[in-house]
């Protein structure tokens, strides 16, 4: 007899979903017990770490990832970092075990009450199949829903007695099913954008994470060079969509209304591509745009287009739009932008490492194609001033600011991309939300290098309390954590350093070892 479980595994295989990031419970055992040998189960010890590992894996791979979580408690544990996947548009398929179908109404222990609502509004779609026979089709629907634009996470709850039921007829049709979206801008829409760019006296590009996610970085360079226009990354960008040493690169826009307006003043046309308009954070009200400025917005996300407070939006595929725009604009006769000045001299410190010094040193210590996963919140300016990222897919950041992403996402990214070194740059506050991913890296021998910037405090919150002018606040510091002991406890080798020289030695040793390693660096306190 072919069971619902058999055809589900076959279905997952046809979509390349043969890696399962999970943390199991009793409801999941009947599914996992039938796992075929060509599948790999990646165990995480906390569901937040499981989900963030899958997020990093999916983003680094450029495809969907499968997550298996336990009932409501396990699934609920993943909700914090699930917020990030909404804004990074990560196509995660979250599958959770439901209690036996006939007992759910009684709310027996481990039943998911209102499964469709459990992860709302974070997931794009959620479902519990109406009967066992509909499980394979529902999971097929979940995969297609997650991966069709706008991509995002989905949730399916499956009663565990469904897995051993006989599969219905007709599931063979699901196996080869593919769905494709072709929504590109019309010729007229593209002309409108190109004409506006040609007519602008001083246009500026603002690129968001979708440029990098769609692999359009090179096309964005072509467009910027044709226009001789400067390029900013959108506020709070979770990816790096433009080479940071290109003469046009201006850095990461600040995340406040006033900050964005000030940075873009002097331009008559702003073209935002692949980002929301805009992802503000700190409330510094002001005019959204300087007077007389026109804002054009290209996004693949209808939600981003509709909720923006300003601008004229065009919804279409990002890679296609950037490529066609680069072809369509008239090469501009404005003088070429001057080359970027050399990197600024990093700020130094006597008895600790200054984060800016650390980032400057990492430029020469790490391979050029390194993937950086950052979650160190008070070092933003230092990071963007000092990093040299030339290749697509070089950077990941928690897209909704939900901490607990960085450390596990780096493990997932390294699993997805063994040919590129992944380096996690994690604050001593942020590290604790996803710390158990160290165990997964150690057990599965995933050679990610985790650098902990230990300044003893929630640095960004200290800065924010000044922005809000609220004076002293409780709960701002995190003294007394020894990350080398934690790492060793989870089975990973670790060192602690206080000087740039010792850091360089530790980093080279970690690189050479081909093993996962953690380096704790005592760092100076800085401001974002």
Question: What is the set of active-site residues?
Answer: 25-26, 28, 47, 70, 281, 401
Does the protein bind ligand TZD through residue 165 (CB under 6 A)?
Answer: no
Cα distances (Å, whole numbers) of residue 92 to 53, 178, 310, 433 = 11, 17, 31, 20
Does the protein bind ligand TZD through residue 450 (CB under 6 A)?
Answer: no
Does the protein bind ligand TZD through residue 349 (CB under 6 A)?
Answer: no
**What percentage of the chain's residues is helix, strand, coil (to nearest 5)?**
40, 15, 45
Q: Which does 392 bind (CB under 5 to 8 A by kind): Ca ion, ligand TZD, none?
A: none
Whether the Cβ atoms of residue 12 and residue 66 lie closer than 8 Å to each other:
yes
Whether the Cβ atoms of residue 505 and residue 362 lie closer than 8 Å to each other:
no
Q: Which does 403 bind (CB under 5 to 8 A by kind): ligand TZD, Ca ion, none?
A: ligand TZD
Nearest residue (CB) to Ca ion, 320 versus 524: 524
Kindly determine how many residues on this chain lie close enough to bind ligand TZD according to the rule CB under 6 A. 20
Nearest residue (CB) to ligand TZD, 146 versus 252: 252
Of 320, 428, 520, 524, which lies in the binding site for ligand TZD, with binding defined by CB under 6 A? 428
Does the protein bind ligand TZD through residue 299 (CB under 6 A)?
Answer: no
CA atoms within 13 A on the CB side of 423: 24
Of 79, 365, 461, 505, which lies in the binding site for ligand TZD, with binding defined by CB under 6 A? 461
Does the protein bind ligand TZD through residue 457 (CB under 6 A)?
Answer: yes
Does the protein bind ligand TZD through residue 459 (CB under 6 A)?
Answer: yes
Residue 349 CB, nearest distance to Ca ion (Å)?
Answer: 15
Residue 403 CB, nearest distance to ligand TZD (Å)?
Answer: 4
* Cα gap 139→343, rounded to integer Å: 50
Residues with Cβ within 8 Å of 393's Cβ and at least 6 positions away in sequence, in order, are 60, 62, 212, 215, 239, 371, 417, 420
Residues with Cβ within 8 Å of 172's Cβ and at least 6 positions away in sequence, in order, are none
Nearest residue (CB) to ligand TZD, 127 versus 496: 496
Query: Quick one: which of 434, 476, 477, 474 has its CA closest to 452?
Result: 434
- 393-422 positions binding ligand TZD, by CB under 6 A: 401-404
Of 57, 155, 280, 433, which lies in the binding site for ligand TZD, with binding defined by CB under 6 A? 433
Q: Which span sits near ligand TZD by CB under 6 A: 172-180, 206-214, 328-336, 456-464? A: 456-464
Residue 354 CB, nearest distance to Ca ion (Å)?
Answer: 14
Query: Quick one: which of 278, 249, 246, 276 has its CA closest to 261?
Result: 278
Q: Exposed (0-12), middle (13-18) or buried (19+): which is 403, by Cβ within 10 Å?
A: buried
Q: Exposed (0-12), middle (13-18) or buried (19+): which is 452, by Cβ within 10 Å?
A: buried
Site string for ligand TZD, 169-198 (x = CB under 6 A): ------------------------------
> Which residues are at the interface with Ca ion (CB under 5 A)?
427-429, 455, 459
Of 58, 111, 379, 394, which lies in the binding site for ligand TZD, with binding defined by CB under 6 A? 379
Q: Which span sits near ligand TZD by CB under 6 A: 21-29, 53-61, 310-318, 457-465? A: 457-465
Pairing of strands 40-43, 19-22: parallel
3-state SS, 319-341, equals: HHHHHHHHHHCCCCCCCCCCCCC
Neighbour tally for 513: CB within 10 Å = 12
Q: Which does 519 bind (CB under 5 to 8 A by kind): Ca ion, ligand TZD, none?
A: none
Residue 374 CB, nearest distance to ligand TZD (Å)?
Answer: 10
Residues with Cβ within 8 Å of 514's Cβ and at least 6 positions away in sequence, in order, are 447
Residue 411 CB, nearest distance to ligand TZD (Å)?
Answer: 17
Q: Which does 430 bind (CB under 5 to 8 A by kind): Ca ion, ligand TZD, none?
A: ligand TZD
Nearest residue (CB) to ligand TZD, 288 versus 433: 433
DSSP letter string over 41-74? EEE-SSHHHHHHHHHHHHHHHTS-EEEEE-HHHH
Length of the chain (residues): 528
Residues with Cβ within 8 Å of 113's Cβ and at least 6 positions away in sequence, in order, are 72, 104, 107
Q: Name the β-bridge partners of 298.
A: 273, 314
Q: Which does 300 bind (CB under 5 to 8 A by kind): ligand TZD, Ca ion, none?
A: none
Does the protein bind ligand TZD through residue 458 (CB under 6 A)?
Answer: yes
Q: Which does 509 bind (CB under 5 to 8 A by kind): ligand TZD, Ca ion, none?
A: none
Query: Contact residues for ligand TZD (CB under 6 A)?
Result: 80, 376-379, 401-404, 427-430, 433, 455, 457-461
């Amino acid at each position: 007899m072919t069971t619902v479980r058999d055809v589900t595994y076959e279905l997952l295989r046809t979509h390349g979903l043969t890696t399962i990031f999970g943390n199991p419970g009793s409801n999941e055992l009947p599914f996992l017990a039938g796992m075929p040998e060509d599948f790999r189960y990646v165990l995480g010890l906390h569901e937040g770490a499981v989900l963030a590992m899958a997020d990093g894996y999916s983003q680094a791979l450029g495809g969907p990832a499968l997550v298996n979580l336990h009932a409501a408690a396990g699934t609920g544990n993943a909700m914090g970092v699930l917020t990030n996947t909404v804004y990074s548009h990560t196509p995660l398929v979250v599958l959770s075990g439901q209690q036996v179908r006939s007992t759910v109404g009684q709310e027996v222990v481990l039943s998911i009450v209102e499964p469709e609502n459990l992860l709302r509004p974070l997931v794009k779609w959620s479902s519990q199949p109406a009967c066992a026979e509909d499980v394979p089709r529902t999971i097929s629907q979940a995969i297609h829903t997650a991966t069709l634009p706008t991509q995002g996470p989905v949730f399916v709850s499956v009663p565990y007695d469904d897995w051993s039921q006989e599969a219905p007829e007709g599931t063979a049709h699901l196996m080869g099913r593919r769905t494709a979206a072709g929504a590109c801008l019309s010729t007229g829409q593209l002309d409108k954008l190109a004409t506006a760019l040609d007519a602008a006296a001083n246009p500026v590009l603002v690129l968001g994470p979708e440029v990098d996610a769609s692999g359009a970085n090179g096309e964005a360079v072509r467009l910027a060079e044709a226009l001789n226009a400067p390029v900013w990354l959108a506020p709070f960008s979770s990816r790096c969509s433009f080479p940071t040493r290109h003469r046009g690169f201006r850095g990461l826009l600040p995340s406040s209304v006033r900050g964005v307006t000030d940075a873009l003043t002097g331009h008559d046309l702003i073209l935002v591509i692949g980002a929301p308009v805009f992802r503000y954070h700190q409330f510094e009200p002001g005019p959204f745009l300087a007077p007389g400025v026109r804002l054009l917005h290209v996004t693949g996300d209808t939600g981003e287009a509709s909720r923006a407070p300003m601008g004229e939006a065009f919804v279409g595929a990002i890679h296609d739009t950037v490529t066609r725009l680069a072809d369509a604009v008239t090469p501009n006769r404005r003088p070429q932008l001057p080359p970027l000045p050399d990197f600024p001299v990093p700020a130094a410190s006597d008895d600790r490492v200054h984060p800016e010094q650390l980032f400057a040193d990492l430029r020469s210590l790490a391979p050029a194609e390194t993937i950086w996963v950052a979650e160190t919140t008070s070092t933003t300016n230092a990071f963007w001033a000092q990093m040299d990222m030339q290749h697509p897919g070089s950077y990941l950041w928690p897209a909704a600011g939900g901490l607990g992403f960085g450390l596990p996402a780096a493990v997932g990214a390294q699993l997805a991309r063994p040919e590129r070194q992944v380096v996690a740059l994690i604050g001593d506050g942020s590290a604790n939300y996803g710390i158990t991913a160290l165990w997964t890296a150690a057990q599965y021998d995933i050679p990610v290098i985790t650098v902990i910037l230990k300044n003893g405090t929630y640095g960004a919150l200290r800065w924010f309390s000044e922005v809000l002018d609220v004076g002293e606040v409780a709960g701002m510091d995190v003294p007394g954590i020894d990350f080398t002991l934690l790492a060793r406890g989870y089975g990973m080798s670790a060192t602690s350093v206080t000087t740039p020289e010792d850091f360089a030695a530790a980093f080279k040793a970690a690189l050479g070892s081909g093993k996962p390693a953690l380096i704790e660096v005592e760092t100076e306190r800085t401001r974002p």
